[in-house]
């Protein structure tokens, strides 16, 4: 019964792959359509699963077909070359998971395995993804370095200064001063973490497999810690402004415009950058191309 259940599951998975392929045939050119048609006809004649030995006239298995670059009409709705390559690799891995292990290393007439074929057909997209990742990591690293410098210097120039007799900060007993210290420390550590993460991106190998999990996860961590460092930096700034103005009623009215301007900066940054973080998280940790998780062959 267990073996029958596994076979049934394999047939259901193969049917899902087949349905997806059929839905996307209209986006392929005539040559690729004919290759898939021959492959499916051979599979039907032999009574095989789609995941078994299925060949096109070029000796390409279904996994070779999955390794082809998707048409632009299927990729244009995805932002950036990095996420596009990730989606292509996700689809390749889904098809690979239902293939018989022996067929994953089959060579076509050009002596290429499916993975080799994937690397060749996606070389240009990989280069664009690498360039985008390096530019993004470099830009964010500069922002993180600036925050680190400011937050580190703020510790030695605390609001109100130091008591000349004791050497302790004048407002050390103020609750807002504690908020300032905590926010400053969190911003400093978060920005340092962000810089180290982006450094890891810059020193990556940038292989096709890296775009599946490694690079997106690093980018998620880097952007998340950078957002957190900016938020805590603004909290520290607001706490400092309140401390400096709360003891002077004539200047207290200036506090509200400053807070409003600070809020505008936060909202603007979130509107510009946060959607990118959400899209990367969804693409990396979402349910994927198929609606349900595909189990590997036994």
CA distance 26 to 33: 8
Give the residue numbers spanning the domain of 39: 2-121
Angle between helices 123-156 and 175-202 (to 10 degrees): 150
241 and 142 belong to one structural domain: yes
- Residue 37 counted as domain residue: yes
Number of domains comprising the chain: 2
The answer to whether residue 220 is domain-embedded is: yes
Please say which residue of 121, 153, 182 terminates a domain. 121
Residues 231 and 109 both lie in one domain? no
Residues 55 and 108 sit within 8 Å (Cβ to Cβ): no
- Predicted local confidence at residue 45, as pLDDT: 44
pLDDT value at residue 34: 67
Of 77, 92, 121, the one marking the end of a domain is 121
Q: Are residues 270 and 137 in the same domain?
A: yes
- Asked whether 98 and 17 are in contact (CB, 8 A), the reply is yes
pLDDT per residue of the chain (298 residues) written in tens, 0 to 9: 566 566 566 666 666 666 666 666 656 666 666 666 666 555 544 444 444 444 557 777 778 888 888 877 777 788 888 899 998 898 888 878 777 776 778 888 888 888 899 999 999 999 999 999 999 899 889 988 988 998 888 877 777 666 667 766 777 677 878 888 899 899 999 999 999 999 999 999 898 899 988 999 999 999 999 989 988 988 888 887 777 776 655 555 556 666 666 667 666 776 777 788 888 888 888 765 544 444 444 4
Same domain membership, residue 115 and residue 50: yes
Same domain, yes or no: 102 and 232: no
Q: Six-digit token pair at 237?
A: 């700034």
In-domain check, residue 297: no
Per-residue confidence (pLDDT) for residue 201, from 0 to 100 = 93
Do residue 239 and residue 160 come from a single domain? yes
Domain-embedded: residue 101 = yes
Shared-domain flag, residues 11 and 96? yes
Are residues 253 and 112 part of one domain?
A: no
The predicted structure's pLDDT at residue 292: 46
Dihedral (Cα; 64, 70, 71, 75), 10-degree rounding: 180
Helices (H), the chain: 2-23, 30-46, 62-66, 72-75, 80-97, 114-121, 123-156, 175-202, 214-245, 255-285
Structural domain includes residue 212: yes
Task: Look at residue 92 and tell me if it is in a domain.
Answer: yes
Are 241 and 141 contained in the same domain?
yes
In a domain, 163, yes or no: yes
pLDDT number for residue 130: 93
Residue 298 within any structural domain of the chain = no
Q: What is the pLDDT of residue 297?
A: 41
Task: Note whether 113 and 189 are same-domain residues.
Answer: no
Same domain, 148 and 113: no
CB 40 within 8 Å of CB 50:
yes
Please tell me the predicted confidence (pLDDT) of residue 53: 44
**Both 213 and 248 in a single domain?**
yes
- Pick from 76, 91, 121: which residue ends a domain? 121
């Amino acid at each position: 019964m267990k073996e029958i259940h596994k076979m049934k599951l394999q047939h259901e998975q193969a049917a899902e792959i087949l349905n997806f392929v059929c839905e996307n045939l209209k986006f392929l050119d005539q040559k690729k359509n004919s290759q898939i048609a021959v492959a499916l006809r051979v599979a039907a004649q032999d009574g095989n699963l789609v995941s078994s030995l299925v060949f096109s006239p070029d000796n390409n298995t279904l996994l070779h077909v999955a390794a082809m670059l998707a048409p632009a009409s299927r990729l244009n709705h995805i932002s950036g070359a990095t996420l596009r390559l990730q989606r292509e690799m996700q689809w390749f891995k889904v098809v690979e998971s239902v293939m018989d292990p022996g067929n994953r290393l089959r060579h076509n007439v050009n002596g290429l395995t499916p993975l080799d074929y994937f690397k060749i057909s996606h070389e240009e997209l990989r280069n664009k993804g690498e360039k985008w990742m390096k530019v993004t990591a470099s830009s964010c690293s500069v922002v993180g370095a600036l925050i680190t410098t400011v937050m580190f210097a703020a510790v030695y120039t605390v609001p109100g200064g130091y008591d000349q007799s004791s050497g302790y900060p004048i407002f050390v007993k103020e609750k807002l001063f504690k908020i300032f210290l905590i926010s400053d420390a969190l911003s400093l550590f978060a920005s340092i973490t962000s810089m180290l993460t982006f450094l890891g991106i810059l020193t990556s190998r940038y292989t096709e497999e890296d775009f599946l999990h490694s690079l997106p996860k690093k980018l998620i961590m880097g952007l998340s810690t950078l957002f957190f460092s900016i938020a805590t930096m603004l909290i520290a700034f607001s706490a400092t402004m309140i401390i400096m103005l709360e003891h002077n009623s004539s200047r207290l009215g200036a506090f509200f415009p400053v807070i409003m301007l600070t809020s505008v900066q936060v909202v603007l940054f979130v509107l510009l950058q946060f959607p990118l973080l959400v899209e990367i998280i969804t693409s990396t940790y979402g349910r994927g191309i198929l609606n349900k998780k595909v189990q590997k062959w036994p």
